[in-house]
């Protein structure tokens, strides 16, 4: 990953980049916070999260950001598109961050689930760092989300198996190891997961108990 704009030193415009006003519009408050942290670590000091999207244009107007980052799950993206047209609603016209020469980065942004808008006249290369950072944080967030879902799923499965073991130990006088071995053998024979067999045991016990 590229370094942030401040760390690299003394070229003209560096200081201005650190002061770029950035607005984040995201349905996910956690992800927005992660992105904000990332931008601040990279040296951007003026980062604002807009969580409440009612009256979005008025909020944007008041903030007057140079860069707007928005998650693709936000239906308010269409509201932002109005910024292309309404010079009286915003102080400066806004354009979508699109660059025909850089299709790959646009595709990467769409895949990650984010879109960027910049004020007219802002050089696109000044925004590349922000967009790259945004893409990597969005991707990291969705990896975390997947891992969290998997971890939750594993915990649920563990609970099911423990309950089924208890039922079998009581009903058939088995030891814990025997109960588990029997479920595992059944699962293998039926080409199913142990958790599925455990669910069947629990359901059967509820029906018959």
Partner 1 sequence: MKNARLRIGYIPLVDAAALLVAADCGFAQAEGFEIELMREVSWSNVRDKLNLGLFDAAHMLSPLVIASSLGLGHVRVPIITPFNLALNGNAITISLQLHAELSARTTGDLTDPGVSARALAQVVADRKARGAEPLAFGMTFPYSNHNYQLRFWMAAGGVDPDEDVRLVVLPPPYMVESLASGHVDGFCVGAPWNLVAVEAGLGHILHLGCEVMAQLSEKVLAMRERWADDNPALCAALIRALLRAADMISAPEHHATVAEVIARHIDVTPDLVARVLAGTILLSPNGPTRHNPRHIVIGGPTATRPDPVQAAWFYAQLVRWGQAPLSEEMRAKAVAAFRFDLFDTALGTSLGTSPAPADRIGAFAGPEFEPENIQDYLNFWNSRRSGPRLSLVR
Q: Which residues sit at the interface with partner 1, rule CB under 8 A?
A: 54-55, 57, 72-82, 84-88, 93, 95-96, 98-100, 103, 106-107, 110, 115
Residues contacting residue 2 through CB under 8 Å, at least 6 positions apart: 129, 132
Least distance (Å) between residue 32 CB and partner 1: 17
Least distance (Å) between residue 136 CB and partner 1: 20
In the bound state with partner 1, the residue whose beta carbon lies nearer, of 78 and 177, is 78
Q: Residue 8 and residue 200: Cα distance in Å, rounded? A: 61
Least distance (Å) between residue 81 CB and partner 1: 5
Least distance (Å) between residue 96 CB and partner 1: 5
Q: Which residue has the tokens 């850089």?
A: 102
Q: Residue 141 and residue 138: Cα distance in Å, rounded? A: 5
Return the exposure string of 188-208: e unless at least 16 CB atoms fall within 10 Å of the residue's CB, then b: eeeeeebbebbbbbbeebeee
Three-class secondary structure of residue 49 per DSSP:
strand
């Amino acid at each position: 990953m590229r370094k942030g704009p401040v760390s690299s030193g003394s070229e003209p415009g560096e200081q201005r980049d650190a002061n770029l006003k950035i607005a984040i519009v995201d349905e996910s408050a956690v992800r927005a916070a992660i992105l904000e942290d990332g931008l601040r670590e990279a040296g951007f000091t003026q980062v604002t999260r807009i969580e409440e999207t009612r009256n979005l244009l008025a909020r944007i107007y008041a903030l007057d950001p140079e860069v707007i980052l928005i998650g693709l799950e936000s239906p308010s993206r269409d509201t932002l598109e109005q910024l292309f047209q309404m010079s009286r609603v915003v102080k400066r016209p806004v354009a979508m961050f699109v660059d025909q020469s850089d299709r790959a980065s646009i595709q990467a942004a769409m895949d990650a689930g984010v879109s960027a808008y910049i004020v007219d006249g802002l050089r696109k290369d000044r925004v590349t760092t922000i967009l790259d950072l945004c893409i990597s944080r969005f991707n990291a967030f969705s990896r975390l989300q997947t891992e969290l879902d998997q971890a939750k799923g594993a915990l649920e499965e563990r609970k099911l198996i423990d309950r089924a073991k208890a039922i079998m130990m009581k009903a058939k006088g088995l030891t814990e190891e025997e109960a588990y071995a029997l479920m595992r053998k059944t699962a293998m024979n039926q080409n199913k997961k142990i958790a599925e067999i455990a669910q069947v045991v629990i359901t059967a016990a509820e029906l018959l108990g």
